[in-house]
Structure 1
Amino acid sequence: MNENAPGNNQMKSPTVQKDLTRACAAEVTNVIHNDIKDNIFSLMVDECRDISVKEQMGVVLRYVNKHGCVIERFLAIVHVSNTSAISLKKIIDELFAKHKLSLSRLRGQGYDEASNMRGESNGLKALILKENSSARYVHCFAHQLQLVVVAVAKSNRIMSDFFQYVTMIVNITGASCKRKDKFRQLEHDRLIECLEKGDIVSGKGKNQEISLKQPGDTRWGSHYMTIICLMSTWTSVLQVLENVYDDGTNDDNSDIPTSLIDKMESYEFVFVMHLMKSLLGIINELSLALQQKDQNIVLAVSLIKTMKVLDMMVQEMSNRFSESSKKVLTCIACLNLKDSFSQFDIGKLLHLAKLYPEDFSLIDRAILEDQIETYIQNVRGDFSMIEYLGSLAKKMVETGKNTIFPLVYRLIELALVLPIATTSVERVFSTMKIIKTDLRNRMGDEWMNDSLVKYIEKDIFATIENEQILQYFQQMNTRRIQLSPLVCMSRSDAGSSTIKK
């Protein structure tokens, strides 16, 4: 507590708070550095505007730690005044230099569809590949999935018309407070009736209030939820539309509610709604799976195959992978563990090693062929219950087989380190909105970055000793009074900088 501290030394000044936050962030980042060491890693980058309309670039690193676990860690968020590829490359070079990361150890890049990121000749991807040809680019799988669904939906008139009608239904139903209140009351009465009849049961978290939301243009998970909500509140929506018609008989647009009611009661509309619910349900599950932090490229490719239920989706998905990406993914897919390593192809795995000359010399590739043969025979029985590549890496470390078959483990590590989706960066932007709000919209870039590092990587922050933070803090500036080791930082909230005795 502060009661025993001198009146002028309570560590409450803005400068001291910012220095303490910077010290915490520096120690957290130092732990990440020590975890990566000289291992290979991948880079994930995305851009977003903060509450003060400043363009911010988030940077996340993906690597495999010494235990064989796939790790994604937030490195920094940087204000970028110029979003050209050259400017972004310069900022990344400065970040790498600041955090003592080598571009030569970079093995993967993960961005979205923006031209300044993935441009074939002048994009950030191309600029990095010029310096390191092993830094393979993988377009975010979750983002590609969204683009495929959008392209297929727009190319089919029936599907396109269906979602236009759905949007109109949602907009008219919630166009005013009066209609929204009527909708809520109808839903409330319906739930009471169902409870009395025993059609549904009550309980914690059940029968929550449902609202209709307009589907987003890019987030096709929102289309799925809109359909689910529309089906759940079907009778209430129809009733609201009928009320709109009754209340607007003299309105020039009074025929719109009638046409929407007729459309909802048509066989074609109901059929397409159930069809899209099933298709988008498959895609939604896949999208959620692709956004998991420990997802790997082998499992992602197998998940994509389960989604290819329509010829148009197959064609569109294939078109969105470049030829170089297809070759890499085809080779990596041979590491799949399913059916006792039935997909293992030594020729393709050797070709994969050839694509990474920094990691496999000519002698290494010659040894690798024999090592793969021995490896398959050695682990096929012992590891038969393992289904995922991430679990295989952990098991190899636990049993010491990563040192017995180091070249095979290097192949597995390369496959695991490739980024699947940029959702970790998007989560950073979600957290940014918690740290920098309307009431704190003048927060400086450095303070916001330090706060984000400490908040996002709170699991690391909780393990750092107070003494480490105090030593770093003391070395930052000349202090009139040296902090006592008894003074420590409160860990009740990872985002707090409260001093206590």
Structure 2
Amino acid sequence: MSSTICNELIELMTEKVLNDIIAAVKTTKYFAISVDSTPDISHTDQLTFIVRFVDSSGKPVERFIKFIPFSGHDGETMMNVVLDTLLEHDLFIMDCRGQSYDNASNMSGKYNGLQAHIKQIPPLAEYVPCSAHSLNLVVSCAAECCVAAVSFFLLLQALFNFFSASTHRWSILKSTIHGDVIKSLLTTRWSAQHDATHALKDSFAEIRSALIQIAEDEDQTATTRSEAASLASKLEDFELTLLCVLWDCILEQLNAMNKTLQKTEIEMATYVNLYAGLVEFVISLCNDEAFEMFEEKAKLLVKDYSYRADHQRSRKRKRNFEEPDNEIVLLPRQKCKTATYFVILDSLITELVKRKKIYQNPNDKFGFLFKITTMPDAELREAALKLQQYLSADVQDTFVEEIVNFSGYMNQIKAPPEKCASSAALKPLRNAGISETFPNVDIVYHLYLTLPATNCEGERSFSVLKRVKDQLRSTMSQEKLCNQALLTIESDLTRNIDFQSIIDDFANMKSIKKFI
């Protein structure tokens, strides 16, 4: 089969998949958008365009539309690109009810960001920053809050750089340790930081032993032996060992939460509860008992339990004869606790609370839906009235009475409180065929599920971009890139294509016979 015929078949398949996506969006009416950009192998900025909607069964779905080459990065330029893309696919911007981007200023800016420009057109296009990206920023701020934290992560990367720079050193490391080898750090994915920290903690003694072996090897160069000895001495620092244990505990919880935040079907209330639970977890570490627990774990990794300052002479500051000598001198252990341990935890708590408030605002509008069976009628009516006034363009005045009626229905079928959650209530509502009885309730649950809280689907599309347009195919056309990316990303729709109709369309397109 020639490349021309192959490309024409791919175009027909792409058109079919894209038409199915657009038809599904139009059927559900309301949708949300998510965009992000990255440079490809040919140094062209590619803007990925994702739409989120709720399918007929009540399940939130996110679909890739296309990659868009663009050069401007300001909010107004990106708004024009978004509007042109929606117009190209016959989607009405006034039906947009949500938008989610990363925390870059050109995206999330309050006045000139993309979200601000979009919200001027449909005011109900609620903006929710990507929760996974926000969590990365939380950890990034905590990792830069003090010198000790910065030094720890610099040491992690220095260890990887040292061993990976030579195959001989890497073989020594692999023959010494029994668990995972040390990993490199990535600024875009804090799961990589967890992997690196966990690998160091699990093989702490073995890594130090490998460094000592290299430092004592006379066949190595003087530079290599000096660097190995320097890294080995740093691994004997009790304060650094304590940080290794602390960060392993914190990053383990953050990594588990980060994986959950990347799921498409997770709802807004779950995001808020996860952030609140993480705040409580970090607060539980802010006491002397937790600090002593980490100290005991660190003592299992090193032989010398003394802090670095115990071996250093304390410096005395010169004072004037009139200045009173009442300076408080902290012991090394107390200084580590107050200047490092509590500073890291305070930074985590501050950032988590700040990020949680961002998701609390949209969640408060719909939060009562999760407890309609337990709320008094007066409170339920008041909350429903506020939401109806906010969604007056989509929800009728009868919503207040409908939600009270729906609450009675849920109590009648003895539904547990968790069944009143949006997805758990919308699916039975539609499966039971009673959406016509509660049309406004159906719309409210629908709108809540349409709200995105992550743009991870866009990040996943970048992985496909790097595989499709690699170094050997750097000159491929934009149309071919979009076609192949769409068929790959939406592989579940590609597999369900009626290939017989594709073959018939292709045959009719190539047929030389003319039927009258």
TM-score scaled to structure 2, two decimals?
Answer: 0.79
Q: Please show how residues 347-496 of structure 1 align to structure 2 within 5 Å.
A: 347-360=382-395, 364=396, 366-380=397-411, 381-384=413-416, 386=418, 388-470=421-503, 472-473=505-506, 479=510, 481=512
What's the secondary structure of 1:109's corresponding residue? strand
Q: 2:320 maps to what in 1?
A: none
Greater Rg by CA: 2
Superposed CA offset, 1:62-113 (max 9, x none): 1111111111111111111333333322222222122111101100111112
Partners of 2:100 and 2:453 within 8 A in 1: yes
The structure with the largest helix share of the pair is 2
Query: CA offsets per residue over residues 129-185 of structure 1, 9 Å max, x none?
Result: 111111111100000011111112211444333223322333323332221111122
Residue number among 199, 217, 221 corresponding to 2:191 in the alignment: 221
Structure 2 residue 79 is matched with structure 1 residue 46 = no
Answer whether contact 1:41 1:108 (CA < 8 A) is retained.
yes
Pairwise CA distance, 1:239: 1.8
Aligned residue for 2:151, secondary structure, equals: helix
CA distance 1:44–1:302, shift in 2 (3 Å)? same
Matches within 5 A, 1:145-224: 145-187=135-177, 190=178, 210-224=180-194
Whether contact under 8 Å (1:59, 1:76) holds in the other structure is yes
- 1:334 maps to which residue? 368
Task: Quickly say closer, same or farther: Cα 1:185–1:469, change in 2 above 3 A.
Answer: same
Q: 2:4 aligns with which of 5, 15, 20?
A: 15
> How far did 1:457 drift?
1.4
Counterpart AA for 1:35: A
Letter of the structure 2 residue corresponding to residue 370 of structure 1: E
Q: Which residue is equivalent to 2:298? A: none
CA contact 1:301–1:333 (8 Å) conserved in 2: no
Q: What secondary structure sits across from 2:91 in the alignment?
A: coil
Return the alpha-carbon distance in structure 2 between the equivalents of residues 171 and 339 of structure 1. 58
Alpha-carbon shift at residue 469 of structure 1 (Å): 2.3
Please give the secondary structure, in 1, of the residue aligned with 2:394: coil
Aligned equivalents of 2:10 and 2:212: distance in 1? 58
Q: 1:163 to 1:384 in 2, by over 3 A?
A: same
Kept in 2: contact 1:328–1:352 (CA 8 A)? no
Q: What amino acid sits opposite 2:262 in the alignment?
A: Q
The letter for the 2-side match of 1:261 is A
Work out the CA distance in 2 between the residues paired with 1:131 and 1:322.
Answer: 25
CA distance 1:330–1:58, shift in 2 (3 Å):
same
1-structure distance, mates of 2:190, 2:5? 46
TM-score after normalising by structure 1: 0.81
Could you say if the C-alpha distance between residues 25 and 252 of structure 1 is closer, same or farther in structure 2, counting changes exceeding 3 Å? closer
> The residue matched to 2:32 in structure 1 has which SS?
strand
Matched, 1:32 2:21: yes
Superposed CA offset, 1:295-350 (max 9, x none) = 22121111111111245434323434777x64322223333369967998553443
Shifted more, 38-47 versus 76-85: the winner is: 76-85
Aligned position for 1:231:
201
Q: Distance in 1 between matches of 2:265 and 2:422?
A: 10
AA of the residue aligned to 1:128 = I
Secondary structure of 1:131's counterpart equals coil
Q: In 2, Cα distance between the equivalents of 1:447 and 1:43?
A: 23
Alignment partner of 1:288 is 2:277: no
The percentage of aligned residue pairs carrying the same residue is 24
**Counterpart AA for 1:17:** C
Work out the CA distance in 1 between the residues paired with 2:160 and 2:98.
42
How far 1:433 sits from its partner (Å)? 1.7
**CA–CA separation in structure 1 for the residues paired with 2:155 and 2:376:** 48
2:278 counterpart letter in structure 1: M
On the 8 A contact 1:298/1:415 being kept in 2, the answer is no
How big is the alpha-carbon RMSD for the aligned residues of Structure 1 and Structure 2? 2.8
CA distance in 2, matches of 1:64, 1:128: 21
Structure possessing the higher relative contact order (Cα contacts under 8 Å, 6 or more residues apart): 1
Is the CA contact 2:98–2:127 (under 8 Å) kept in the aligned structure 1? yes
The residue type equivalent to 2:25 in the other structure is I
Cα pair 1:96 1:103 within 8 Å, conserved: yes
Alignment partners' CA distance in 1, 2:211 and 2:251 = 26
Distance 1:141 1:338, change over 3 A: farther
Q: 1:282 to 1:172 in 2, by over 3 A?
A: same
Corresponding residue of 1:265:
236
* Conservation of the 8 A alpha-carbon contact between 2:373 and 2:410: no
- Structure 1: tracts of 5 or more residues without a match: 1-11, 191-206, 484-501
Q: Secondary structure at the match of 2:120?
A: helix
2:129 to 139, 143, 166: 139
